[in-house]
Structure 1
Amino acid sequence: MRPILTQTVPALETPSQELRDAAKATGGNRAAHDRMLSDWPCMTTIELSQPPAAPPVPSELTVCAWNMERCKRVEDSATLLRAAGADVVLATEVDMGMARSGQRHTTRDLAAALGMGFIYGTEFVELGSGDPFETAEFADIPNTHGLHGNAILSRFPLRAPCLIPLDDGGLWYVSTPKNDGQHRVGGRMAMAAQIDTAQGPLTLAAAHFESESDPSLRADQARRLIEGLERQYGAGKAVIGGDLNTNWLADGTRTAAEIIADPAAVEPAFTHFAEARFDWRGSMTPGFTTRCPPGRAARYPLMILDWLMVRDVAPFGPRIWPAVSSAGLYLSDHEMLSTRVIA
């Protein structure tokens, strides 16, 4: 199992175009993949930038969880997060130096727009342009860095940040499961840290489970996430948010309220969460969390892939925010979740 990463740097060192081109040539080779995992600094460190100002320690705060689908519209995304009153953002699928998202360090730019600090970790080094739609548009534009990852943004200082691997990596390099041009070095992971609150430290985690998986694999990733969090921070107050890719829940036979009431009937990951005292019923409002991208065939039924769950804190006011800008522009294929918590 890959180790938990705790070494922070002010800026990630990214692999050169030459290294990424060489990686393409050894696609399918497990040993080559694992050497890159250990040798490329962006795969062994996490980027940390503390907020420019430290507000008073909170007794209540708003936590948002959002799969940002690359974060292609930084400023519009910041506007939506401000409307939600976000104090903490548990962000998944955010790019750094990808042509499809304007070559931006989207987490850094989003944090700057919100006056927040952040931690960012690499889930994948992308060796191509992205999915087939992105490849059709950006195949002729080289990526400046090629990173895709997860992040936590916060108005409050982030303590003891870490990256928790959720698998051994290599699936998207050794076997490329969708065979759609998404050729990648890395594996699924969660970003985690603590913030200080009026009642003591609060652990935060932004998790992204494997999309090409089944309930058994997702249960294993839930177990690894919980074990990693408790190894780093203990079993106290915590909020987990992210895209758990719970696609087997979308069988068209249950309402969103029924799915949220008992996801463990289909997804045993939630048995692990419940045994670790995590609960989602007060931090989730009934509703589906996916959105059909424009210009693509609609996929129904819509799904509940995204979750917010808490342990030993009181949530209230959960909400689903449509992932569109004030001008009606599409932001992501996942809606944004928020909840207030008494910390």
Structure 2
Amino acid sequence: MGERLPSPGSIIQRDYRDLQTPTPHRSETLRLLQWNIERGYKLPGIIEELKQIDADVIALQEVDIGCERSGSLDTGNEIAKALGLNYAFFCEFEELRSPLRTPELQGGGVHGNAILSKFDILDLGLVQHSVHPVDWNKAEEPRARLEPRRGERAVLRARIAAPGTNLVVYCAHLEVFCGALVRMRHLADIFNDARSQIDQGYPRIAILGDMNTMAHGVARLSPSYCCDRMRFRFLGSTEGEVWQDKILSVPDPRYSEPHATDALAPNPHVLAWGLPPQVALGALNPGFSDPFDARNTVTLDNPKYRWGPWSLMAGKLDWMMLRQLTVHSTSLGNQGVPIMSLPSSSGGVNRHGMQVDKAIVLGASLSRLLGTQIVYKTIGAGLKCAQPHW
């Protein structure tokens, strides 16, 4: 690595598109791809699969630059160059080299998330989280002793000039070493920022990411993965089902009804769980839906936690929350291509998404691609831009 590494909290952008050649584009269609690439351990395979998918907009989590565990490569840059895409990388952490780390986790570089696009990136920003359950900057922090790093999590936001419309895309990777309540706060942070984008005249939004919604199954017994009072509060449901049934199902009337007033009632479920009223207000859904049902979408199924045919730690960790976009097709795994559509000059719209292989899930994340074991991957969706109805 000859170049200076980016510092935690910084965003870098590089454009590898051939601007002399117009971007070939499927007729009014758009493919979205969400993928946790697990540090890019299998970078050649990742690049080959991304070439086959040919997504228009890609959200990647766990992108390494200069880390020994991933061959000291700039994994996101390698992907962007190979695909000829516009590329934005947000550096979350400096991954410190340490004898405490095993070789497959060894640092020496930086780590973060990225958005790649065939189209112009008009604006970049970050959504800062209101709380940080793990202070990675403190040496005495128990998690930091095992995984020494500096920095903190945030959400990368890009405004993209998609054909016929501007599309706001978020790329999130929420904390896993906490509990469900912190992740609810973080989702409320993203919703609050999305409201700001809508109010500025950007209603078409995609929230993509590995949200680590895994506070269920045997994870409930873990002091690392479930360390709040919600551990047994929603027995019988996965954390993903709680998001779907108790958060996404509670609309913000200001963004879902034609003549709603500013007199708002907070999300009653979030209040009942003991979170502050401002968080319960932020958790009102300003018009998002996810085409992948939390009850039948699995993006993590750890073989270590199986008992015969039963999965003891499985669920939907990866999300694709869409606003004013009509889904035409979706797929999980390497057998399909999701489609999303945007409005053309005449008001019509549409597009495609993505795919994965074997135990990989589209729109989920190629997350847990540890060593030679691939557990789950990306989620994609074929969408059409819905016309505004408010």
TM-score where L is the length of structure 2: 0.65
How many residues are paired up?
A: 298
CA distances 1:174-222 after superposition (whole Å, capped 9, x unpaired): 2534366211111111111122234321101111111112222112111
How do 1:65-76 and structure 2 match up within 5 A? 65-76=34-45
Aligned partner of 2:83 in structure 1 is: 114
Q: Which moved more, 1:227-236 or 1:217-226?
A: 227-236
Cα distance, 1:342 vs structure 2: 2.0
- Give the aligned CA root-mean-square deviation in angstroms: 3.7
Output the amino acid matched with 2:102: A
Cα distance, 1:44 vs structure 2: 4.6
Cα distance, 1:335 vs structure 2: 1.7
Aligned partner of 1:159 in structure 2 is: 122
Output the amino acid matched with 1:106: T
Distance 1:214 1:257, change over 3 A: closer
Cα distance, 1:271 vs structure 2: 8.7
Work out whether 1:287 is the aligned partner of 2:297: yes
Work out whether 1:212 is the aligned partner of 2:177: yes
Separation of aligned partners in 2, 1:182 and 1:120:
21
Structure 2 residue runs without a partner (length 5+): 221-234, 250-268, 271-278, 335-355, 360-368, 386-390
CA distances 1:50-98 after superposition (whole Å, capped 9, x unpaired): 2413516773211111111111122211222233332111111110100
Cα distance, 1:254 vs structure 2: 5.0
Q: Which moved more, 1:110-119 or 1:267-276?
A: 267-276
Cα distance, 1:274 vs structure 2: 5.5
Cα distance, 1:155 vs structure 2: 1.4
**What SS does the corresponding residue of 1:78 show, helix, strand or coil?**
helix
CA contact (8 A) 2:63 2:114 kept: yes
Distance 1:284 1:56, change over 3 A: farther
Aligned partner of 1:148 in structure 2 is: 111
Aligned partner of 1:171 in structure 2 is: 135
How do 1:219-234 and structure 2 match up within 5 A? 219-231=184-196, 234=200
Cα distance, 1:231 vs structure 2: 3.6
Distance 1:281 1:176, change over 3 A: same
Output the amino acid matched with 2:169: L
CA contact (8 A) 1:63 1:340 kept: yes
**What SS does the corresponding residue of 1:262 show, helix, strand or coil?**
helix
Separation of aligned partners in 2, 1:341 and 1:255:
26
Work out whether 1:276 is the aligned partner of 2:283: no
Output the amino acid matched with 1:246: T
Cα distance, 1:253 vs structure 2: 3.8
Cα distance, 1:240 vs structure 2: 0.8
Separation of aligned partners in 2, 1:168 and 1:270:
15
CA contact (8 A) 1:12 1:47 kept: no
Cα distance, 1:285 vs structure 2: 9.0
Distance 1:168 1:215, change over 3 A: closer
Separation of aligned partners in 1, 2:187 and 2:197:
15
Aligned partner of 1:311 in structure 2 is: 323
Aligned mate of 1:340, from 382, 386, 389: 382
Cα distance, 1:241 vs structure 2: 0.6
Separation of aligned partners in 1, 2:155 and 2:115:
10
Separation of aligned partners in 2, 1:229 and 1:258:
22
Give the helix-richer structure, 1 or 2: 1
Distance 1:325 1:98, change over 3 A: farther
Aligned partner of 1:246 in structure 2 is: 213
**What SS does the corresponding residue of 1:86 show, helix, strand or coil?**
coil
Aligned partner of 1:96 in structure 2 is: 65
Distance 1:215 1:241, change over 3 A: same
CA contact (8 A) 2:86 2:119 kept: yes
Separation of aligned partners in 1, 2:294 and 2:328:
9
Separation of aligned partners in 2, 1:190 and 1:65:
14
CA contact (8 A) 1:121 1:191 kept: yes
**What SS does the corresponding residue of 2:37 show, helix, strand or coil?**
strand
Separation of aligned partners in 1, 2:322 and 2:216:
21
Aligned partner of 1:184 in structure 2 is: 149
CA contact (8 A) 1:12 1:45 kept: no
CA contact (8 A) 1:126 1:184 kept: yes
Distance 1:325 1:256, change over 3 A: same
Q: Which has the larger radius of gyration?
A: 2
Aligned mate of 2:97, from 125, 128, 135: 128
Distance 1:43 1:178, change over 3 A: closer
Output the amino acid matched with 1:342: K
Output the amino acid matched with 1:55: T
CA contact (8 A) 1:289 1:306 kept: yes
Cα distance, 1:224 vs structure 2: 1.6
Q: Which moved more, 1:58-67 or 1:198-207?
A: 58-67
Distance 1:256 1:178, change over 3 A: closer
CA contact (8 A) 2:125 2:157 kept: yes
